[in-house]
Amino acid sequence: MTADALVAHLRRACRELNCRSGVRDHAEAVERIVAAAVAAVPEASTVGLTPADTHPSTLDGVTAPIGELDALQRELHEGPAMEVLDDPPPDGTVVAADFAGSDGARWPTFSEHVLDAGHRSMISVRLEVEGAPRAALNLYGSRADAFDGQARRAAGVFALHAGMLLLAAEQAACLQRALANRDLIGRAKGVMMERFGLDEDAAFARLVEASQASNIKVVDVARWVDEQCGERATSGAGPGRPHVA
């Protein structure tokens, strides 16, 4: 593969990663990554993912693209995926040229399982971006030496792109959670502002004080305020017909 062809290839894979507009969560990101990986590294016949379990926000809820062999490496603590997760080389990539040859001795137990599943070779590459879950992307080949230097390069670069997508997914999921809480907190702030004639910051400080004094999360304090107002409204305690502005 020439340099131009490599970039063109990876551009196509990126278009798949970026397909449609935004990415909502990890599950969607991982699905896209696995689908696009074949465009980036066509030598791969099967693609899967081994999540690391050390990041606070892990991929543990994501199950679909994690195949038996991907999970097995973590169970056995053996295989290319474990090497890229535990002790990655500078390009983040580990290649098994032939599980039926010299690599058989390197990963004896895992090799047996890989060969049983009909694969001969493999690349594992580390997906890692600060702030996003870490994982190994596994590309399996049906013949020995399926992956040459260019394939390894393509996998290494693709992993960087996949990492960016995971980061976007992490941020989107986190902001979605914040969004759900923000309605409640905003309302409770408004109630405090109106009740005590406070500005926004002082109103929020009041909620935080109450949260700390009672050891209840701010969002739950806000929910409580909201519920109290709701109860008051249904009890008919309020003034007459409201109008705004």
Partner 1 sequence: MSSPDRLVVTLRTAAHDLVGGCSIRDLETTLTRIVLTAVATVPGADAGGISMTEDGRTSSRSPTTETISKLDRLQSELHEGPCIDAMEHAPDDGVVTAEDLAGPDASRWPHFAPAAVEAGYCSVLSTQLVGVEDTRAALNLYAGRPHTFDDAARLTAGLFGLQAALLLHGSRQASDLQRTIDTRDVIGQATGMLMERFAVDGEEAFRMLVRSSRDTETELVDVAAWLTSEAVERRRARAPRSHRRGHPASTRSAGGGGARGGLGDERGRAR
Label residue 49 exposed, middle or buried (CB < 10 Å: 0-12, 13-18, 19+).
buried
Give the residue among 54, 130, 123 at the shortest CA–CA distance from 86.
54
Under 8 Å between Cβ of 34 and 62: no
Under 8 Å between Cβ of 85 and 52: yes
* Tokens 């890229």 found at: 84
Contacts of partner 1 in 192-211 (CB under 8 A): 192-200, 203, 206-207, 209-211
* Structure tokens, 48: 């899967």
* 116 versus 244: smaller Cβ distance to partner 1: 244
The nearest distance, CB 219 to partner 1, in angstroms, is 11
Contacts of partner 1 in 44-63 (CB under 8 A): none
* 77 versus 195: smaller Cβ distance to partner 1: 195
Q: Residues 103-135, buried b or exposed e (16+ Cβ, 10 A)?
A: bbeebeebbebbeeeebbbbbbbbbbbeebbbb
Distance separating alpha carbons of residues 155 and 44, to the nearest angstrom: 10
The nearest distance, CB 178 to partner 1, in angstroms, is 6
- Binding segment for partner 1 (CB under 8 A), chosen from 44-52, 68-76, 111-119, 233-241, is 233-241
Under 8 Å between Cβ of 185 and 138: no
Contacts of partner 1 in 146-165 (CB under 8 A): 149, 152-153, 156-157, 160-161, 163-165
The nearest distance, CB 124 to partner 1, in angstroms, is 13
The nearest distance, CB 121 to partner 1, in angstroms, is 13
Does residue 86 bind partner 1 (CB under 8 A)?
A: no
Q: What are phi and psi of 90, to 5 degrees?
A: -60, -30
* 57 versus 211: smaller Cβ distance to partner 1: 211
Q: Fill in the per-residue mask, 1 to 40: x = in contact with partner 1 (CB under 8 A), - = not in contact.
A: --xx-xxx-xx--xx-xx--xxx-----------------
- Binding segment for partner 1 (CB under 8 A), chosen from 44-52, 63-71, 136-144, 234-242, is 234-242
Alpha helix (H) residue ranges in the chain? 3-17, 26-40, 68-76, 80-86, 103-106, 108-116, 149-196, 200-214, 218-234
* 71 versus 210: smaller Cβ distance to partner 1: 210
Judged by CB under 8 A, which of 93, 111, 121, 138 binds partner 1?
93
